[in-house]
């Protein structure tokens, strides 16, 4: 089953068409408007303009039923969303009471090698 163009909405972040569905938990989930074999959401239309989705992830998830189609969640393909993870700070300086052990170890190994 493929959503009708009138069922699609523009994504607020990237402007591409998405299909809004309701999950089993009653939450809203946007999926890409075309079925995809690697999609992890099983979706189908329960009423005009009303689609439901359920996750296929998880060991106890039933495989898609005859009336369901796999869709990808739009968050996985959206190009307009800012990265979720902020850039991490580079490297924190060692606190003054910490002695780094690894450079000393490396130095000892080098000395041992030189002896041979
Ligand atoms: Zn988007």
- Structural domain includes residue 106: no
Q: Rounded distance, CA 28 to CA 33, Å?
A: 15
Q: Which domain holds residue 18?
A: 5-76
DSSP per residue, 41-94: EEEEEEETTEEEEEE--STTPPPPPTT-EEE-BGGGT-SSSPPSSPPPPS-PPP
Each residue of 65-78: pLDDT tens digit?
999 999 999 999 99
Reference 72, options 42, 31, 43; nearest CA is 31
Q: How many domains does the chain have?
A: 1
- Structural domain includes residue 18: yes
- Between the CA of 74 and the centroid of ligand 1 the distance, in Å, is 6
- Structural domain includes residue 102: no
Put simply, whether the predicted model's pTM sits higher than 0.85 gets the answer: no
- Between the CA of 9 and the centroid of ligand 1 the distance, in Å, is 10
Each residue of 47-58: pLDDT tens digit?
999 999 999 998
- Between the CA of 16 and the centroid of ligand 1 the distance, in Å, is 6
- Structural domain includes residue 66: yes
Tokens of 109: 């190994």
- Structural domain includes residue 47: yes
The pLDDT, as a whole number, for residue 42 is 97
Spans in the chain with pLDDT lower than 50: none
């Amino acid at each position: 089953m493929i959503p009708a163009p009138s069922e699609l909405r523009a994504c607020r972040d990237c402007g591409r068409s998405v299909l809004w569905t309701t999950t089993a938990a009653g939450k809203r989930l946007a999926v890409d408007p075309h079925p995809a074999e690697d999609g992890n959401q099983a979706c189908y239309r329960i009423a005009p303009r009303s689609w439901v989705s359920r996750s296929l992830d998880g060991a106890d998830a039933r495989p898609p039923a005859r009336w369901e189609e796999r869709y990808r969640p739009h968050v996985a393909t959206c190009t307009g969303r800012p990265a979720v993870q902020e850039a991490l700070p580079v490297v924190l300086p060692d606190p003054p009471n910490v002695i780094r052990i690894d450079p000393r170890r490396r130095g000892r190994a080098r000395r041992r090698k030189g002896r041979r």
